[in-house]
Amino acid sequence: MKTTTNIILVSIMIIFFTSCGYKNEIWSEINNLEFETNELEIIEEQDWIIEEIQKEIENITKNTTKDIYNINYIINWEEILLQEGKYSENIPNSSAKNTVNIFTIYTGADLNNDAENDTIVLLSQSLWGTGIFYYVAVVESGIHEWQSSNTIFIWDRISPNNIEYIDEKIIINYTKRYPWEWFTETTSVWASKILSFENNELKEFPFEKLTQQTAEKLAQDKWGYNFESNVENITVHILDGQDQIWYVEMIEEWLKDDSVDSIKKIMKVHFVNGEWKIWAELLTQFTCKEWRGQQEFAESFCL
């Protein structure tokens, strides 16, 4: 019984001191114990076990080290465990993979007012090969250290630029395409996702929503429209609206004209100083009467 107790005690001491990096101190502590001569000889002869335990603990420590590159992030209500900033998993019944990577980080913001900088993490996810989706999360210092907040979806098929922290707002800057552009086009439209962080939760910063009634008024102010004898139908649409970028489209159909059949116009609007304002007219396209030019909307004039 005494032999078993001693061996168990020695094993615990070996594991503890080895994990703390005090391998040389192990034997001095072991010598303070009361052993029968043959027990100590057995332990001394098995010095190799210390090295094996040391290797095992180093492996365990490496695999359980917690930092922003080795913790769980929640994406679409699913916990994703990153290892060295990466995650990859085969999608069942498919050759595609679900991969998640840390795209970039920002460490210059004290988000929880503990006088220590926290980390804003931008994650990229590739799924089904349909494009890259971007999410943002916060990893706090202090009481929630190495624990990710919820994630907020930024957008897909964009080009992230940088992260800023201004006036207690997290700002994710990126470029994207116009709603009417193909994904083969280069991203060129500057946009920003603005977030707030409180009580370990990320939230989108509220902003004014463009209503259909306001869109119609803006279209009328810009282009003027009424059902005169030369236009049979006019429709107004709101495009996009993602991250405070709004586009208003007006289509005049079935013009009583020799060459032009329809006209499509698009303008960019934004909300500033408590009111909606027209930012710029971006596009004018035409469809033509038969034999007078293009049958799909294009910028070319009809013949």
Q: Which two tokens stand for residue 162?
A: 């940088």
Half-sphere exposure of 34 (CA within 13 A, CB side): 1
Of residues 123 and 273, more confidently modeled: 123
Residue 42 amino acid letter: I
Residue 211 amino acid letter: T
Residues 22-81: tens digit of each pLDDT:
444 454 555 555 545 455 455 455 556 556 656 655 554 444 456 899 999 999 889 999
Q: What is the percentage of the chain residues whose pLDDT exceeds 70?
A: 74
Domains of the chain, first to last: 2-64 (no CATH), 72-204 (no CATH), 212-288 (3.10.450)
Of residues 35 and 299, more confidently modeled: 299
Neighbouring CB atoms inside 10 A of 73's CB total: 23
Determine the distance from the C-alpha atom of residue 208 to the mean position of all C-alpha atoms in its chain, rounded to a whole number.
23
Q: Looking at residues 97-116, what average pLDDT do you find?
A: 90
Q: Looking at residues 230-241, what average pLDDT do you find?
A: 87
pLDDT for 6 equals 52
pLDDT for 229 equals 63
Counting every residue written for the chain, the total comes to 303
Residues 114-160: tens digit of each pLDDT:
888 899 999 999 986 678 999 999 998 766 567 889 999 999 999 99
Which residues are within 8 A (CB) of 36 and not within 5 positions of it... i.e. 6 or more apart? 2, 3
pLDDT for 32 equals 55
pLDDT for 201 equals 92
Average pLDDT for the chain: 82
pLDDT for 60 equals 45
Output DSSP code: residue 298: B
What is the Cα–Cα distance from 260 to 296, expressed in whole angstroms? 12
